[in-house]
Structure 1
Amino acid sequence: MNNPRKINFKIFNLILSLLILYSCNFGKTEWSIDQLYRQKIDGTSKVIYYFSAWGGRDSNPRGFIILDSTKQFQVEIENILPIYQLSQIPNKTNIEGITHDCYGTCGELYYNSKPVFRPMKVDISSENGFKLKTRIYQYKGYSEHNRGLERYVFEKFKETKDSLIFYNLDDVESMNGIHLDTLKVKKGSVYLLFNKKNNIKKINVDNVTLNFKTNSIEEIRHIALTPKNEIKNKELSERGIFRELLK
């Protein structure tokens, strides 16, 4: 015959365990990740992720996070890098990026303000063992050099250490039917998307061009490139290139 005291003690332990489990998870947001890309950083075990996620009350954190390659990705809002775009290929010691702030040019003030293209401020911080240089630009200066989204199909490409060069491009969505013989983009913010066969179905590029002497913004381009022919994943290196982890 079972001892009632032992049964009650087991029930008490079960309830206590459930309460501890609940309290540990209470307040944690369950994130639904809709974009996740990873880029290896040369000469280090670290990787840099770009992600977008949705959580409670329609919050939508997104941005860059650095983790060791042995760790599984998690949404850690407190560790999101304070940059909007990368401006260089990350290396084993340095990461550079840009962001923007109002500086009196948001809302109705935008149309009566004068654009400033040089960085308003440069912040240097330490992030997970890296020196992070963040150039902060005036919002109007940033937006006036932002060309918006360009879309092309391309015939072939060539990769160099720091760039990708595309050949025989056509803008199939523009009414003007723009054709380009070549298009050269910097690596760093290159994002590969894959189909079910793990071949590349699209290449998205965020290219930031800064003046070599003044660091003024010269151009910001967002380019979507679709191959006319099959390109296998292994045909592109890992340097300066993000690869999609969600399909």
Structure 2
Amino acid sequence: MKIKTHKIVFLMLLLCLYSCGFEKLGQWDISELYAQKIEGTSKILYKYDAWGGRDSNANGFVILDSTEIFKIDLKNELPFYKLSDIPSKNKIEGITHECYNSCGDDYYKSTPNYKPMKLDKFKSNNINIENIVYQYRGYSEKDGGLERYIFEKFIETKDSLFFYNLNDVESMDGIHLDKLKVKKGEVYLQQNENKEIEKIIVEQISLNPITKEFIDGRTCFLTPKNKTFANEFSQRGIFRKIKGAK
């Protein structure tokens, strides 16, 4: 009778482990991790992508103090899909979307709306957070495709990056650009062990500064023609990839 009881307890424990998912036990495999220092604070904004038990995926942004070791913390994950401005000690602003009768079969029956549907405000690590929520169709119609360029040189200002003499390696036409300006905020540096830049990823959202109407979104992959090092870039509005994250 005692053996049967132990078997039942063991089976129930196994069932609990599988039904809860191993990720709840901290078993996460972090595939990508970036960090950006929030100017004027001791806080770090992390962007991560991780996989847990039963192919569960967690990805997003989280704020931690620089003295803390990074770990997956779903309850404190920020709700953004993308940042809409440079994070600061006063405010971090981002955007997301919800259906609003425009998902699935209702997508083409709906009228696209590019204005905010609601604004969520709260605090995380004593920093004001603003999450602007858009209609799914309005968001998807304005969120553009992928652009790939090789650039010769760049110049950085307080809020922007300017890339010069770019060749488009994505389209068949091989478009050439003399200059490309991108807004800082969600810029990701990928570098090798020698701190040489291998690729720069820019996720850029443009909003009307007054009404917050969604203007457009773009993703750019930028590869330097010449040796370019991570220390040539500031920390303001720029993420750096963390190697060997677990």
Q: TM above 0.5, one fold?
A: yes
Paired amino acid for 1:131: N
Identity level (%): 55
Structure number with bigger Rg: 1
Match among 92, 97, 101 for residue 95 of structure 1:
92
Contact kept? 1:185, 1:207, Cα under 8 Å: yes
- 3-state DSSP class of the match of 1:234? helix
User: Which stretches of structure 1, 4 residues or longer, exceed 2 Å deviation after superposition?
Assistant: none
Paired amino acid for 2:212: N
Cα pair distance change 1:197/1:112, threshold 3 Å = same
Paired amino acid for 2:184: K
2:218 equivalent to 1:225: no
Contact kept? 1:193, 1:201, Cα under 8 Å: yes
Paired amino acid for 2:192: N
Contact kept? 2:147, 2:170, Cα under 8 Å: no
Paired with 2:162 and 2:61, the residues of 1 have a C-alpha distance of 25
Matches within 5 A, 1:165-184: 165-184=162-181
1:158-209 Cα offsets, whole Å, 9 max, x none, are: 0000000001111113102111111100101000001232211100000000
- 3-state DSSP class of the match of 2:67? coil
Corresponding residue of 1:128: 125
Q: Would you say how many aligned residue pairs link Structure 1 and Structure 2? A: 224
Match among 140, 144, 147 for residue 141 of structure 2:
144
Contact kept? 2:39, 2:236, Cα under 8 Å: yes
Matches within 5 A, 1:48-197: 48-197=45-194
- 3-state DSSP class of the match of 2:75? helix
- 3-state DSSP class of the match of 2:226? coil
Paired with 1:26 and 1:123, the residues of 2 have a C-alpha distance of 28
Corresponding residue of 1:43: 40
Paired amino acid for 1:134: N
Paired amino acid for 1:113: S
Paired amino acid for 1:196: E
2:199 equivalent to 1:202: yes
Contact kept? 1:164, 1:187, Cα under 8 Å: yes
Contact kept? 1:33, 1:51, Cα under 8 Å: yes
Contact kept? 2:150, 2:222, Cα under 8 Å: yes
Paired with 2:125 and 2:167, the residues of 1 have a C-alpha distance of 42
Paired with 1:135 and 1:85, the residues of 2 have a C-alpha distance of 10
Cα pair distance change 1:82/1:181, threshold 3 Å = same
Corresponding residue of 1:234: 231
Paired amino acid for 2:134: Y
What root-mean-square deviation, in Å, do the aligned CA atoms of Structure 1 and Structure 2 show?
Answer: 1.5
Kindly state the Cα deviation for residue 102 of structure 1 after the two structures are TM-superposed.
Answer: 0.5
Which deviates more, 44-53 or 208-217?
208-217
Kindly state the Cα deviation for residue 225 of structure 1 after the two structures are TM-superposed.
Answer: 0.4
- 3-state DSSP class of the match of 2:107? helix
Paired with 1:143 and 1:240, the residues of 2 have a C-alpha distance of 25
- 3-state DSSP class of the match of 2:138? helix
Paired amino acid for 2:158: K
Kindly state the Cα deviation for residue 108 of structure 1 after the two structures are TM-superposed.
Answer: 1.2
Q: Where do 5+ consecutive residues of structure 1 fail to align?
A: 1-24
1:194-234 Cα offsets, whole Å, 9 max, x none, are: 12322111000000000122111111001110000111111
Contact kept? 1:29, 1:56, Cα under 8 Å: no
Paired amino acid for 1:83: F
